[in-house]
Each structure stands twice: as C-alpha cells, then as structure tokens.
Amino acid sequence: MKLCVALDMPSKEDNIILVDDITTACKNLNISTKDIWLKIGLRSYIRDGRELLYALQDKSYRIFLDLKLYDIPNTMLDSIVECEKLDIDMLTIHASCGFKAMQAIANLLQEKESNMLIMAVSVLTSFDSNGFREVYSIEIKECVKNLAILTHKSGLSGLVCAIDEVSIIKNISPSLLTVTPGIRLESTTNPSDDQQRVATLQDAKMACSDFVVIGRPIYRANNRIYTLESILQKIYKDQ
Ligand code: C5P
C-alpha cells in the first residue's frame, strides 16, 4: 500500500511547506520520497497549474494529478494527450464517461508506451446511499461493480473507490488497482467533514487497497510531522 497526500492547501507556498514536512517525516523514518504520491487536485491545479507540477517534480516524489476528467470521448482523448506531456505518474477520470472513452484512452497510452496510470473514479466517497440513489436511482455497490467491469474491459489501470468497495473490484480482477480516499485516523477527533464512506488505515490495509489518499487528517493536524510519521510507520514499516 502507498500513501497519496492531498495537496489541497489555500496557497502554493502552503503546499510547498506541507511537502517539506513530508520530506522531513520521510527522512526521519528512512523512507524514500519516490514511494510517496503527491496528489494535486482541482483547487491547487486551477490556481498554480504547471508551475506547481514542475516545482514538485524537482523534489523526486510521484505526481498524481486528480482532475477527475469527464467529457465526450473525443474531448477526453485530446485532454489525455495533453496530460501525457506533463510527465505525471497518475491521473483520474470518471469511469461514468463510459467504455468507449476509457478504451480509447487505454489504447492511446499503449500506443505511446506511456507508464502514466489512469484511475477511473467509481462513486465519490462523499456520497451516502440516499444521496447517490437520489441522483442515479441505483445502489452504490451495484454501480461500482458495473463501472469496475467496464474499466477492466477497457484496459485502464484501476478505480478510485471507498474501502468497502475494494473487494468488489478485486473480485472482478486482482490486477485492477484501487485508490481509496475517505481515510480517517483512529486517534483523530476531527469530524469526517464531507466524506460519508470513511475508513481507517487498518481497514485499508486489511482490504488490500493499493493507494490511500489522505488530506485533512494530515494538513489540519496539530502536530503535522508526528501525524505524518505515525501514518508512514503504519503504511511502510508495520507488517
Ligand atoms: O481531506 P480528505 O482526506 O478527505 O481528502 C480527500 C481527497 O481525495 C480530496 O483531495 C478529494 O478531492 C479526493 N477524492 C475524494 N473522493 C474521491 C476522489 C478523490 O475524496 N472519490
């Protein structure tokens, strides 16, 4: 399992300070920063764009651009061509853009011999079952299963999902990778904010999730380095 830290801070400088804290915690525990994924989402990318990407690429981390693209197949494909030039390691799209778009993207990456992982968002972890039924008239788990089958057939790398849904995806194919946000620490007193389908690191490990995404429990912690070290210890050191 690998850690993705969400760089969702209110300024570029704050994100760089957060990355410096991650570097300190990694050094203290003797963990390579190449094993850590920095997740740049909409807020940071809209504000700081490529400048932030380039600043982070100099620091030898893995870069995960979380843009959750969703459009018609032709527009998706053109966008992926542009993303491919950014030299990033992981990108998100919405699986609900459909099989045709996902397959075209997978074929394009194969043609270009690209190593960029494309993860398809299944159902956002901020949805609970009532809110989801209200919009899509289907149960979350049924929808995740359908989207995982389509993603697998398309040839893309894997899906973003809640911990509870990892087993559904791995049952379809163990080779599908899973990215799981909505992680909350046992010791924290923070409310789970807008996340509804939350789980702990221990749950994530037991479910065999490949990547956990953690944002607020790290950057809002009273003692950030201590929190980072305890997360890194659980993910990379404890058996
Ligand atoms: O702060 P928190 O730990 O909830 O961070 C979750 C991060 O993961 C945010 O950057 C959010 O955009 C992202 N994310 C998510 N649910 C998804 C996909 C991504 O929460 N399904």
Consult the annotation and say whether 184 binds a ligand. Answer: yes
Consult the annotation and say whether 47 binds a ligand. Answer: no
Beta strand pairing call for 90-94 and 158-160? unpaired
Domain ranges of the chain: 2-237
Instruction: Please report, for the chain, how many H helices and E strands are present, in that order.
Output: 10, 8
The architecture of the domain spanning 2-237 is Alpha-Beta Barrel (3.20)
Using one digit for the tens of pLDDT, what is the confidence trace for 12-34? 999 999 999 999 999 999 999 99
Average pLDDT over residues 69-91: 96
Please give the model's pTM, rounded to 2 decimal places: 0.94
E strands present in 41-161: 62-69, 90-94, 117-121, 158-160
Q: Which of 71, 89, 141, 145 is catalytic?
A: 71
Q: Which of 45, 46, 125, 188 to mutate to test the pocket of ligand 1 (most atoms within 8 A of CB)?
A: 125
Whether ligand 1 lies within 6 angstroms of the CB of 83 is answered as: no
Tell me the pLDDT band of 160, cut-offs 50, 70 and 90.
Answer: very high
Is 205:236 a contact under the CB 8 Å cutoff?
Answer: no
pLDDT at 64: 98
